[in-house]
Structure 1
């Protein structure tokens, strides 16, 4: 019997009791991954805390405190804020298109310029979409979740931000939103008939999408992925150098701080998108496999937490956050190994960058809140209030 089951209902709301309900295994694994990220950022900066490693640790410390604070928030508040968070994030995504508000960098308008700071609404949407879909399915019947005309609502909830983010253009974030939404629909009990038809439609639309919808640089990345050797010093340079770094690491790697591709700066974006290649070069197959085992541990523990929730909202919200995290790891790993086009998806908690780290840790704040408040019962109905 759990500690929470042994306490009286009034005592379950005390912070000291809630604190004991945190899953410390998950917390330790998150800290371990972030620590490995800091160590690698120190290494690829040629043994210097600047400009990446120190900031990475500071950001993680702040985000960790935020995650612990969010884990104390009752699940009913996450439930009530789901739709407002979704529509607010959607408004921010649309506001990027307003002249003077959208900030353009590296050929894409992905940020909203608020004067004192810039925010990336697509990152907020990754959490807001999970919350909104979990709330809608919480109030839906089994038949509505499986095969019903009302499924147009979650489809539109996924399609609207997907279209806005893809237009920025930010294909990596758009794919994450679409695939996370699809994972939640599947977890909610979507009929296999719809899955097969939707899968066939997506496959049939891949080539027209590449030819007529993608921007030129995105199309070049796809073609480069198919044949990187065709332009080894141009478009294929990133993938070629990544493969060289990973292959040269062998079984045990070259040693910490001794990776030639990363230390001599042949490996591009070694502190962000291609940090996994730097890990493989310095620690080999054993080190990179160990790192992936830590990610797998986080995913399995999070799915276990989802299964313990008494509310359908808690189960689906936690499953959605876990799916987003897993997709980050899967897409980045495939991209670095040359198994997928380069779409700018970082390795979570390891790559340098505060926005993605904040999004991931807010997500795990929700996961922890589901663990702490797993006995909370939520009202049925998927209306706004």
Structure 2
């Protein structure tokens, strides 16, 4: 059989037709930066880089598969995925596995964390709902949307897992907002949050006393907020993470200490240096210049995702791509904020940088779904 170069090139183009090249390139660059930083952070933890490389290969395969699935097909999975996810969360609440004081896992033959599924299933479900209601959207449809969102958020927060609950809430809220929720309704909530933060900061000496109980919050969540306001109140305990991360970031200076030369990381001062606090390792070694480059890459990722969302062929596609793109912003903002000491410490990874197969797979699925929306538009034009 004669080799025809043009035929094989055409077949290769068809295979990767679903890939949005600017989006894929940006993700690839972030993963490269992540691997370089992870190598430095895990010099004393052999095998982590190899594991992450396997995770990356799997993630790109999954991304490619989902990029080639039409959004109309994705809509069919919205209700089943959401329903299964809620059922699993209820299962966790009833007979889940408890680790380190949190009940977040369940054994269904293999041990899984259902809350990760809801990071995708919740915006998928909400986008499906508003697509169905597109021609006759009423005010009460937004109440239904919040009800759909409140169920997984409440179950996840009860585990307790405030970080994941916040991510699921943000992804769902973006769908509701993009569907037409007026900003005038959101503004009072934001004002209330700002006033609450100001009051906590003003009266922290009184309300952060051990005998004071905060409503709707666990003690460890209260401690995180109080430690954020004054890390030196517990420098060897709750404040240790924040203090050491801020020292690492500041010691990097304009250009950093150089790759593999970060003292805070290699002398074991930075906790969780390969997962939640990998930004501190990166900043110490690459400095402000490296941080600016990283922020530019995240900006490009978000800008491209929003471009795909704005040009989506259907309301479902626009809502899904828009909410998942803004979820990347939430991930990056919360992680960098907590490592920099301006937000409480929560378990939120840095997108495509932090070590971990589950988080990377979730992010890869999100990118694949955004690419699917972009591919549908391109096919309609051709």
- TM beyond 0.5: yes
1:70 positional shift: 1.0
2:120 and 2:18 map into 1 onto residues whose CA distance is: 23
* Whole-angstrom distance in 2 between the partners of 1:119 and 1:291: 31
Q: Distance in 1 between matches of 2:327 and 2:107?
A: 26
Contact 1:38 1:54 in 2 (8 A): no
Structure 1 partner of 2:78:
82
- Following the alignment from structure 1 to structure 2, what is the Cα–Cα distance between the partners of residues 249 and 85? 44
Residue of structure 2 in register with 1:140 after alignment? 133
Pairing 1:158–2:149 present = yes
Q: Is the 8 A contact 1:188 1:316 kept in 2?
A: yes
Within the candidate set 186, 189, 197, 1:195 is matched to: 186
User: What 5-or-longer segments of structure 1 have no aligned partner?
Assistant: 1-13, 378-385
SS at match of 1:20: coil
Q: Which structure 2 residue ranges, 5 or more long, are not aligned?
A: 1-10, 201-206, 208-212
Q: Which residue of 2 aligns with 1:11?
A: none
What's the counterpart of residue 7 of structure 2? none
Q: Which of 169, 177, 182 in structure 2 is aligned with 1:178?
A: 169
Q: CA deviation at 1:158?
A: 0.7
**Among 85, 90, 96, which residue is 1:94 paired with?**
90
Q: Which residue pairs with 2:274 in the alignment? A: 271
Does 2:308 match 1:305? yes
Which residue is 1:211 aligned to?
214
My pick for the range that moved more, 178-187 or 285-294, is 178-187
Aligned counterparts of 1:192 and 1:309: Cα–Cα separation in 2:
22
> For residues 41 and 29 of structure 1, what CA distance do their matches in structure 2 show?
18
**Cα distance per residue 1:30-75 (max 9 Å; x no partner):** 11111211111111123x6723111111101111111101111111
**Secondary structure in 2 matching 1:212:** coil
Mapped partners of 2:16, 2:374: distance in 1 = 11
> Is 1:22 the equivalent of 2:19?
yes
Ranges of 4+ aligned residues in structure 1 off by more than 4 Å:
200-208
**2:98 is the counterpart of 1:104:** yes
1:57 match: 53
Contact 2:66 2:365 in 1 (8 A): yes
Q: State the 1:347 CA deviation.
A: 0.4
TM superposition shift of 1:344: 1.1
SS at match of 1:374: helix
Matches of 2:12 and 2:87, distance apart in 1: 35
Within 5 A, what are the aligned runs for 1:1-385? 17=14, 19-46=16-43, 50-99=46-95, 102-115=96-109, 117-141=110-134, 144=137, 148-200=139-191, 211-374=214-377
Q: Secondary structure in 2 aligned to 1:233? A: coil
Say whether the 8 Å CA contact 2:334–2:343 is kept in structure 1.
yes
Instruction: Tell me the secondary structure at the aligned position of residue 214 of structure 2.
Output: helix
- CA distance in 1 between counterparts of 2:86 and 2:352 reads 26
Deviation at 1:212, TM superposition (A): 1.5
Question: Does the Cα contact within 8 Å between 1:309 and 1:375 map onto a contact in 2?
Answer: no
Q: How far off its partner does 1:152 sit? A: 1.5
Preserved contact between residue 18 and residue 68 of structure 2 (Cα < 8 Å): no
CA distance in 2, matches of 1:291, 1:155: 34
Assess if the C-alpha contact under 8 Å between 1:108 and 1:168 holds in 2.
yes
Residue 114 of structure 1, CA deviation: 2.1
Aligned to 1:8: none
- Give the Cα separation in 1 of the matches to 2:116 and 2:364: 12
SS class of match (1:219): helix
Tell whether the 8 Å contact from 2:313 to 2:373 is kept in structure 1 after alignment: no
CA distance in 2, matches of 1:376, 1:315: 16
Q: How much does 1:203 deviate?
A: 5.9
SS in 2 for 1:211: coil
